[in-house]
Amino acid sequence: MQADNQLSGQLQSPSASPNWLAALRAYLLTVAVIDLLWEMAHLPLYTLWRAGTPGEKLFAVLHCTGGDLLIALASLIFVLMLVGHRDWPVRRFAAVAAVTLVFGFGYTVFSEWLNVVVRKSWTYSDLMPVISIFGLSIGVSPLLQWMAVPTLALYVSRRAGASDMHNPETETVIGQQQIPASRKERT
């Protein structure tokens, strides 16, 4: 009987547990949608806007959105492994968010330097405001993008990951299947 209770305790968890998978999904979906819109909106800040064909512009927007999504995913996963908690996003959210933003910002500075200065993969137009970071002229739009989009995505992810904690209809979770409290009373 005690073994049954232990097994039951492992399979059942209270509805107050956070849902990190829902949080991760919300984070990635938010990043993908907003980065796609951002990439389209700031395209005039690059010389491609005037010199590129419609196909090149479309490719650049989709390629850069995919890259942004990978940077955001890698940053979050790396930071979750470093400072995260198994109950993220409810626990250690602020630490994970702060370090994710710092890591991603640092990578963005490196990527802009690598692609603008070293590889010359893209060029800023005269419309791009630039700031000097460590002696490098970096476009303001990509830096703002990295700060704004993941910040919003982390906010959305926290709400999505903690949403089960405020759902009075769900009393017990077994595996991945949620059993409503009204149905649980009948069993």
Q: Where are the domains of the chain?
A: 19-186
pLDDT band at residue 178 under the 50/70/90 scheme: low
Instruction: State pTM to two decimals.
Output: 0.78
DSSP 84-126: --TTTTTSSHHHHHHHHHHHHHHHHHHHHIIIIIIS----B-T
Query: Measured on CA atoms in the order 38, 19, 90, 78, is the torsion positive or negative?
Result: negative
Give the lowest-confidence range in 48-57, 154-163, 176-185.
176-185
What are the tens digits of pLDDT across the range 57-89? 999 999 999 999 999 999 999 999 999 999 999
The residue with greater pLDDT, 165 or 142, is 142
User: Strand, coil or helix: what is 46?
Assistant: strand
The chain-wide mean pLDDT, for the chain, equals 85
Res 184 pLDDT > 90 = no
Here the contacts of 104-108 (C-beta below 8 Å, separation 24 or greater) are: 104/71, 104/72, 104/75, 104/146, 104/150, 105/143, 105/146, 105/147, 107/71, 107/75, 108/71, 108/142, 108/143, 108/145, 108/146
pLDDT higher than 50, residue 8: no
